[in-house]
Amino acid sequence: MSAQVHSVPVDVPAAPCEVAVGRARPALRGLVTGYSGFRSGTGAPIAHRLLALPSTTLIIDFASPSGVVTGPRAQASTAGDTTWAQGVSVGLTPAGVVALFGVPMGDLAGVTVPLSELLGPNATELPGRLAAEPDWESRFDLLDLTLGALACRVESRVDPVVVQAWRRLQEDGAPRAGEVAAALGVTRRRLEREFRRDVGVSPGQVRRIARFQRAAGELGRGVELAVAAAGTGYVDQPHLSREVRALAGVTPAELQVLFLQAGAHLYKTGARPAT
């Protein structure tokens, strides 16, 4: 998987946002897809638009009493608590959601939940501890330690078939859901049933959203729409335009402006080398 974007500002702010990205340590690679640090250019809270995403995101604003968790979603959203000024975000896999919160990711699909409802008292300590660190890398290190300790509380119960399929469906040029199911030795019907519980969006939606996320990343680098469409497997430019409208809630041109002039909240997937 490549970098994924969980949100962009609803409007272009007065000053660009600062964004830092990081990877989790190898020990967490099955639970955490990556980290992001963010700070609004003016220091004031900014309303954000959540983009379609096949994973769950933990967002901790340093001024918040705890944080929020946004579940996987098949379309863009501005509902719930999506206004932040400075903090960190963590991308979580289906196994990560179970290990940290003790619930299947499907329970969080399409909703935003206060972190305190899932972690209890542990949630209230995090904003202050993270804010006290001197830089983003130190905050990512603290997240490694904290999440590693919290994840020990619950044994992951996600079906290994779901874990493998979820990752394969997000690869560049991924086969269709039925082909992935066959390659893993299960029926498509079973895979869809398991995804409803452990992922919250269907296998086909995971594949669709992952392709959109790759295209969004290209647009964020300033790539022209036609080039981005050709490079990420869309039939043509209008096809990509329709998908961006459906999964980001804005036009490709608007999304690109938000990327380049405002800054997107994203996290790199994969893991940092062990040190």
Domains and CATH numbers, the chain: 4-156 (no CATH), 160-260 (1.10.10.60)
Two tokens, residue 202: 């269907």
CA dihedral 167, 171, 174, 176 (to 10 degrees): 30
Please tell me the predicted confidence (pLDDT) of residue 56: 96
Give how far Cα 77 sits from Cα of 36, 85, 180, Å. 20, 18, 29
Residues of the chain with pLDDT below 70 are 1-3, 80, 153-156, 262-275
Please tell me the predicted confidence (pLDDT) of residue 78: 84
Please tell me the predicted confidence (pLDDT) of residue 269: 46
Return d(Cα 225, Cα 118) in angstroms, integer: 40
Please tell me the predicted confidence (pLDDT) of residue 271: 41
Give how far Cα 127 sits from Cα of 13, 83, 101, Å. 24, 15, 18
Packing angle, helices 188-198 and 160-168, rounded to 10: 90
Please tell me the predicted confidence (pLDDT) of residue 156: 60
Return d(Cα 24, Cα 140) in angstroms, integer: 8
Which residue bears the tokens 């897809």? 33
Return d(Cα 79, Cα 208) in angstroms, integer: 22
Please tell me the predicted confidence (pLDDT) of residue 183: 97
3-state SS class at 233: coil
pLDDT tens by residue, 171-213: 999 999 999 999 999 999 999 999 999 999 999 999 999 999 9
Q: What is the pTM of this model?
A: 0.91
Please tell me the predicted confidence (pLDDT) of residue 264: 61
- Mean residue pLDDT across the chain: 90
Q: Is the dihedral of CA 87, 262, 242, 81 positive or negative?
A: positive
Give how far Cα 176 sits from Cα of 96, 161, 187, 198, 269, Å. 25, 15, 13, 19, 22
Please tell me the predicted confidence (pLDDT) of residue 263: 64
Please tell me the predicted confidence (pLDDT) of residue 19: 87
Please tell me the predicted confidence (pLDDT) of residue 155: 61
